[in-house]
C-alpha cells in the first residue's frame, strides 16, 4: 500500500507505517493542483486540518482506499464524495479532547482577567493596573452548549474550579448530567442565566450562527462568550455588535468563519476579544497521540483489514458490507430522518427488526442507526463508538426482533423517547434496494428517504398543502414530489415534500405562518 502524508505530523507516524512494510511519502504544503496531480498513485492519504480533501481531489483518487484524519473534525474532507467513491474516512475522536478543553478554559481565564491586554500594555512600557480590573470565575455560572468529548471535560474542570455549570445537550440524560454535577437546561435558559457561555458542538446547518443576534439578545448583560469549537457557530458580525453595545463584555475566539481571518476582522482587532489561531488541539501531547492513533488505524486497515473509527463505513469486511448494503442504507437514512425531526433529549432508542432484516447481522445495523442519530449533534461519533457514546449518556438501547411481518418482507422501526414524548418512524426496502418511509408515528405514508425534504405537521383542512406549495413557488423553490398522510379525517396530518435545494430560515417562518400549519421540519438525507 502506498501512503501519502500531506500534513506535518510526528515522525513516529512514518516509523509505525514503515515498520509494517508500508510505503510512505511525506509531502506537505501541497497546493490543490499539486495534490490532484499525484493523488492517483496512492492507496491511503493521511491529513491533519491544513489539507482540504475536496471533491475535485477525490475524483482524481482512482486508487485511494482510505483517508485518515489525525484529529476529531473532518470538515476539511468531503465525506460525501469519498463515500460515493467507496473511500473509507477515519478520524481519531479521543486524542485531542483534553487539549481543546484546556484551551477553552484558558480563553475563559484570559478574557476574565484581561491577560492579553495586560501583557500588551506592559510591553509598551505602561502600567495599566486600574484600567485592567477583571472578574473571578468562582461561583459564576458557566453555560456549556454541547457536553460531548470536549464539553464534558470543560464542565468537569469548571466544577472543580467552583463554578456552577449548566448545559444544553439533547443527547445526554438528566441523570448522567446530575451525577456529574451539571444542570441540564433548555437553550434559552442557558443564554439568560450564564455569566460565561462556551460552545462545543460540531459545525452543522443546525449549529451555524447558533450564537447570533437573536441568541445574544437573550443573554445576561455582560456575558463572556468562548468559541474553541468551530468557526461560524458564533456569528462574528453579531458578536462584534453585541460587544460594542455592552451586551457582551468580552469573548475568546480560537476559531473563525474564515481561517485565517481577514486582517481587518473587527473581532480580531477588538481589545475585548482574546484571539488565538485555531490552537485548540495544538499541544505536543495531543498531536503525538492523534498521529500515533491514525497510524495504527491505517496499519489495522492495510495489514489486518480492520476498519476503526470510520466516519462513513461500518466496521465489517467488504464482502459482508456488500451483503448488508441495502439494509445499512435503510438503517442510516431512517435514523437520519427521525433524528432530524426529534428535538428533545433522548432517553431511549428502541429498534424493531421484522422479517428478513432480522436474520442479518443486526449489530452492524444498530451501530449505523445510533451513529446517524448521534453524529449530527455530537462530534467524534462513529460506527464503532456510537453504542458506547449512547450508553455513556444514559440512553437506553433496546432491540426487538420478529422473523415475519404480515405486510412487509422486511420492516425496520426506530422509536425515540423522552419521558412520555415519543417519536417513531418505520421503513422498508422497495424492491429490496430502495429505502422507503412507510409510517411516521401513527400516520401511514409512502415516501423516498433521500435528498432535501420538508415535513409539515398540520390540521387536515382544505387548502393547507396548496398554500404551502404556493408559498414555496413564490420563492422559486420547486417541489419534486409530495407524500401526504393523516391520522383521521380533519385531524393531524403530515406532508413530506421533496424540494430542489435547501430552504432558508425566512421561508420556514413564512410556511409556519400558513393557517392550520403546526410545525415545519427540514430534513437532508444524502
Distance, in Å, from the CA atom of 264 to the CA atom of 234, rounded to the nearest integer, reads: 18
Pair 199, 254: CB distance under 8 Å: no
Phi/psi of residue 220, each to 5°? -65, 135
Q: How many C-beta neighbours within 10 Å does residue 218 have?
A: 14
Closest by alpha carbon to 64, among 89, 31, 27?
89
What is the gyration radius of the CA atoms in the chain, in angstroms? 25
Give, as one character, the DSSP assignment of residue 253: E
Q: Which helix (H) or strand (E) holds 416?
A: strand 410-418
Distance, in Å, from the CA atom of 354 to the CA atom of 351, rounded to the nearest integer, reads: 10
Q: Is 308 helix (H, G, I), strand (E, B) or coil?
A: coil
Active centre residues (catalytic): 230, 259, 278
Pair 251, 226: CB distance under 8 Å: yes
Distance, in Å, from the CA atom of 349 to the CA atom of 316, rounded to the nearest integer, reads: 23
Closest by alpha carbon to 43, among 70, 84, 90, 3?
3
Q: Write down how long the chain is.
A: 526
Task: Collect all residues with Cβ–Cβ distance below 8 Å to 176 and sequence separation of at least 6.
Answer: 392, 393, 394
Strands of 179-247 (E only): list them: 183-184, 196-199, 223-227
Give, as one character, the DSSP assignment of residue 114: T
Residue 62: all three cell numbers together: 482512482
Q: Is 2 helix (H, G, I), strand (E, B) or coil?
A: strand
β-sheet with 492-499: strand ranges across:
479-486, 492-499, 451-459, 517-525
Helix residue ranges per DSSP H, 5-142: 11-18, 32-38, 55-59, 79-84, 97-112, 115-123
Burial class (CB in 10 A: 0-12, 13-18, 19+), 280: buried
Strands of 137-191 (E only): list them: 141-145, 164-168, 183-184
Alpha carbon of 175 to those of 167, 422, 477, 507: distances in Å? 13, 19, 44, 38
Distance, in Å, from the CA atom of 345 to the CA atom of 348, rounded to the nearest integer, reads: 9
Pair 161, 106: CB distance under 8 Å: no
Pair 41, 53: CB distance under 8 Å: no
Residue 199: all three cell numbers together: 460552545
Distance, in Å, from the CA atom of 461 to the CA atom of 321, rounded to the nearest integer, reads: 46
Amino acid at each position: 500500500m502506498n501512503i501519502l502524508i500531506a500534513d506535518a505530523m510526528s515522525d513516529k507516524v512514518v516509523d509505525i507505517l514503515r515498520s509494517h512494510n508500508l510505503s510512505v511519502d511525506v509531502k506537505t504544503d501541497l497546493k490543490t493542483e499539486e495534490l490532484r496531480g499525484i493523488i492517483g498513485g496512492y492507496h491511503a492519504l493521511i491529513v491533519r486540518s491544513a489539507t482540504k480533501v475536496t471533491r475535485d481531489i477525490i475524483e482524481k483518487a482512482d486508487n485511494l482506499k482510505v483517508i485518515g484524519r489525525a484529529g476529531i473534525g473532518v470538515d476539511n474532507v468531503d465525506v460525501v464524495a469519498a463515500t460515493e467513491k467507496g473511500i473509507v474516512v477515519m478520524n481519531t475522536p479521543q486524542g485531542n479532547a483534553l487539549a481543546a478543553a484546556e484551551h477553552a478554559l484558558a480563553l475563559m481565564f484570559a478574557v476574565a482577567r484581561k491577560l492579553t491586554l495586560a501583557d500588551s500594555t506592559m510591553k509598551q512600557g505602561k502600567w495599566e493596573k486600574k484600567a485592567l480590573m477583571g472578574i473571578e470565575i468562582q461561583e459564576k455560572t458557566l453555560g456549556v452548549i454541547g457536553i460531548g468529548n470536549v464539553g464534558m471535560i470543560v464542565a468537569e474542570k469548571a466544577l472543580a474550579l467552583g463554578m456552577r455549570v449548566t448545559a444544553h445537550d439533547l443527547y445526554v440524560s438528566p441523570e448522567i448530567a446530575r451525577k456529574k454535577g451539571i444542570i441540564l437546561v433548555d437553550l434559552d435558559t442557558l443564554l439568560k442565566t450564564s455569566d460565561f457561555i462556551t460552545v462545543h458542538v460540531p459545525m452543522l446547518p443546525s449549529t451555524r450562527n447558533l450564537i447570533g443576534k437573536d441568541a445574544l439578545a437573550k443573554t445576561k448583560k455582560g456575558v463572556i462568550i468562548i468559541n474553541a469549537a468551530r468557526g461560524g457557530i458564533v456569528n462574528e458580525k453579531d458578536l462584534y455588535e453585541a460587544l460594542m453595545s455592552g451586551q457582551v463584555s468580552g469573548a475568546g475566539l480560537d476559531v473563525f468563519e474564515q481561517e485565517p481571518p481577514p486582517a481587518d476582522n473587527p473581532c480580531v482587532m477588538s481589545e475585548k476579544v482574546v484571539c488565538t489561531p485555531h490552537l485548540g488541539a495544538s499541544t505536543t501531547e495531543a498531536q503525538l497521540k492523534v498521529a500515533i492513533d491514525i497510524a495504527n488505524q491505517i496499519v489495522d486497515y492495510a495489514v489486518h483489514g480492520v476498519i476503526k473509527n470510520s466516519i462513513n463505513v461500518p466496521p465489517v469486511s467488504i464482502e459482508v458490507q456488500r451483503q448488508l448494503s441495502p439494509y445499512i442504507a435503510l438503517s442510516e437514512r431512517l435514523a437520519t430522518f427521525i433524528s432530524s425531526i426529534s428535538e428533545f433529549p433522548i432517553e431511549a432508542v428502541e429498534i424493531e427488526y421484522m422479517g428478513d432484516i432480522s436474520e442479518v447481522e443486526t449489530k452492524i445495523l444498530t451501530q449505523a442507526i445510533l451513529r446517524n442519530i448521534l453524529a449530527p449533534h455530537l462530534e467524534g461519533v462513529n460506527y464503532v463508538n456510537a453504542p458506547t457514546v449512547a450508553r455513556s449518556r444514559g440512553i437506553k438501547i433496546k432491540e426487538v426482533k420478529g422473523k415475519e411481518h404480515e405486510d412487509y418482507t422486511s420492516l425496520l422501526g426506530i422509536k425515540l423517547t423522552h419521558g412520555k414524548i415519543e417519536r417513531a418512524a418505520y421503513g422498508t426496502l422497495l424492491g429490496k434496494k430502495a429505502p422507503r418511509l412507510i409510517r411516521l408515528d401513527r400516520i401511514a405514508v409512502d415516501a423516498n428517504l433521500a435528498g432535501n425534504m420538508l415535513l409539515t405537521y398540520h390540521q387536515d383542512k382544505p387548502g393547507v398543502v396548496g398554500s404551502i406549495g404556493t408559498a414555496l413557488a413564490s420563492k422559486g423553490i420547486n417541489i419534486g414530489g409530495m407524500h401526504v398522510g393523516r391520522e383521521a379525517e380533519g385531524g393531524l396530518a403530515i406532508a413530506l415534500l421533496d424540494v430542489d435545494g435547501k430552504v432558508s430560515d425566512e421561508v420556514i417562518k413564512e410556511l409556519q405562518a400558513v393557517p392550520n400549519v403546526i410545525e415545519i421540519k427540514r430534513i437532508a438525507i444524502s
